[in-house]
């Protein structure tokens, strides 16, 4: 757990707010991306700068920020960003507000818009915690699906003894791991990709010239592997056909098949096509290959020039498109000019359902990088321009988009 999962940490104004910094730090160490929202009272106990530094993200404290270049409905975008929401510590006040639908600051407003799992870690004086009104609020929220971490008993900051202490940060992070795992399991159960047989191709092909030389391209395979991971996370049965790449195959793959040249890639894809529902062609396959492979190393001796004759390789995507039947076919377009138009043409020519278009000349996109900036272009011409994001996140977006395409197809 942790890797690539996103936690929104809400910090409210309790004396144990400082412990939340350790929770934030441990979540980061476990590989989570963390964004922090603080109430005004929380900022009286611990400065936003602490969370900003630990989370490596800006901290939201204001509903009506002066510093925004445009009016972003951040309480909604942040309510969609997280895979899980943790309120730690949670004051009696935030519990009361949430139980009664009150939205009078950023945190409470965002929480009303959250549809993912919310974990609440209450911490307060034991009389407050045992107050029947607080108890009622907690029970009401539990009935609505909010998950509570039981506070510890012991000496409280106010000097009194009883239940109300924030548990150890390790325990809180273990609960986050556990809830995320349950959410993932639930997502798999509910996913339209569950049990679907998917071929993902990845990496760069190599076209051999002689025993020591080949033509290739800078594709690292990172994007294809991220797509494979995202489909596995939704319960798909994934066969990865990998050309040249240094990436480590994800756990729970159905099969990994290596295919180094465009010819091998063609053969392996076609061999596996019959028994598959979805094809995602993320590999960078050479369009040309040397016409004559030389069995012996080409020698330089006496030559100032050398002409290499190339012949075109088979167009795998086009051939799948021609016989795709009910399969869903997703392609990638790595372009250096007229990105949208070229990608749209490719989508139509090759009978794709979706094309992921990226401008490889852009600084924040493309080959070998861990991030990408892409446009998702659909068969009906609709286009979704995505922000720059990690390839893992883009893989998730592609998986979710394919789910939507399946849903549309299933619609009577």
Ligand X SMILES: Cc1cc2nc3c(=O)[nH]c(=O)nc-3n(C[C@H](O)[C@H](O)[C@H](O)COP(=O)(O)O)c2cc1C
Tokens of 245: 């790449």
Distances (CA, A) of 173 to 21, 178, 195, 320, 402: 12, 9, 31, 46, 32
d(CA 262, CA 287): 8
Tell me the closest approach of the beta carbon of residue 42 to ligand X, in angstroms: 5
Shortest reach from residue 134's CB to ligand X, in Å: 9
Q: Tell me the backbone φ, ψ of residue 201, rounded to 5 degrees.
A: -105, 150
Nearest to 138 by CA among 173, 163, 114, 159: 163
Cis peptide preceding 89, ω within 30 of 0: yes
Q: Which stretches of the chain bind ligand X, using CB under 6 A?
A: 12-16, 39, 41-42, 91-94, 123-124, 128
Q: Which one of the listed residues 24, 158, 173, 276 is annotated catalytic?
A: 158
Minimum CB–partner distance for residue 67 and ligand X (Å):
21
In the complex, what is the shortest distance from the CB of residue 57 to ligand X, in angstroms, rounded to a whole number? 20
| C-beta closer to ligand X: residue 160 or 408 | 160
Write the DSSP symbol of residue 284. B
**Residue 16 or 201: which CB sits closer to ligand X?**
16
Residue 124 vs 230, nearer CB to ligand X? 124
State yes or no: is 173 an active-site residue.
Answer: no
Min separation Cβ 124 and ligand X, Å: 3
Question: Considering beta carbons, is residue 20 or 313 the nearer one to ligand X?
Answer: 20
Of 124 and 285, nearer to ligand X (C-beta) is 124
Q: For the packed helices 17-29 and 48-55, what is the interaxial angle rounded to 10 degrees?
A: 10
* Distance of closest approach, residue 344 Cβ to ligand X, in angstroms: 49
Residues recorded for the chain: 412
DSSP code for 192: T
Contact 271, 191 (CB under 8 A): no
Region of 195 please: left (phi>0), alpha (psi -120 to 50) or beta. left
CA end-to-end distance (rounded Å), the chain = 37
> Given the complex with ligand X, which of 39 and 286 has the nearer CB atom?
39
Contacts of 219 (CB under 8 A, 6+ apart): 203, 204, 243, 245, 283, 284, 334, 367, 368
Which active-site residues does the annotation give? 158
């Amino acid at each position: 757990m942790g890797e690539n999962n996103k936690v929104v940490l809400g910090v409210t104004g309790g004396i144990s707010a400082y412990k939340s910094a350790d929770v934030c730090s441990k979540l980061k160490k476990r590989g989570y991306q963390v964004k922090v929202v603080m109430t005004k009272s929380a900022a009286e106990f611990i400065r936003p700068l602490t969370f900003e530094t630990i989370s490596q993200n800006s901290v939201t404290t204001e509903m009506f920020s002066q510093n925004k270049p445009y009016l972003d409905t951040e309480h909604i975008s942040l309510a969609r960003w997280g895979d899980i929401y943790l309120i730690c510590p949670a004051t009696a006040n935030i519990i009361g507000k949430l139980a009664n639908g009150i939205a009078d600051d950023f945190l409470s407003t965002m929480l009303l818009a959250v549809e993912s799992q919310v974990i609440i870690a209450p911490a307060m004086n034991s009389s407050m915690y045992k107050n029947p009104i607080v108890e009622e609020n907690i029970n009401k929220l539990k009935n609505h699906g909010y998950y509570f971490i039981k506070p510890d008993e012991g000496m409280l900051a106010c000097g009194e003894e009883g239940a109300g202490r924030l548990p150890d940060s390790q325990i809180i992070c273990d609960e986050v791991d556990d809830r995320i795992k349950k959410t993932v399991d639930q997502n798999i159960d509910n996913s339209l990709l569950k049990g679907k047989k998917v071929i993902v191709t990845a990496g760069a092909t190599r076209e051999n010239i002689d025993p020591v030389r080949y033509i290739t391209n800078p594709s690292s395979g990172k994007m294809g592997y991220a797509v494979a991971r995202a489909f596995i996370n939704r319960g798909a049965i994934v066969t990865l056909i990998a050309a040249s790449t240094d990436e480590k195959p994800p756990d729970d793959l159905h099969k990994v098949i290596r295919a180094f040249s465009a010819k091998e890639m063609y053969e392996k894809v076609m061999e596996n096509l019959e028994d598959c529902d979805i094809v995602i062609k993320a590999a960078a396959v050479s369009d040309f290959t040397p016409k004559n492979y030389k069995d012996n190393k080409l020698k330089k001796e006496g030559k100032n020039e050398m002409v290499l004759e190339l012949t075109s390789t088979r167009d795998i995507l086009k051939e799948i498109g021609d016989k795709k039947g009910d399969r869903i076919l997703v392609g990638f377009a790595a372009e250096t000019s007229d990105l949208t138009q070229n990608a749209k043409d490719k989508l139509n020519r090759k009978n794709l359902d979706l094309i992921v278009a990226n401008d490889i000349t852009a600084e924040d996109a493309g080959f070998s990088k861990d991030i990408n900036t892409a446009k998702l272009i659909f068969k009906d011409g609709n286009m979704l321009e995505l922000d720059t994001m990690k390839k893992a996140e883009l893989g998730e977006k592609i998986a979710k988009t394919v789910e939507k395409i399946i849903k549309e197809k299933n619609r009577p």
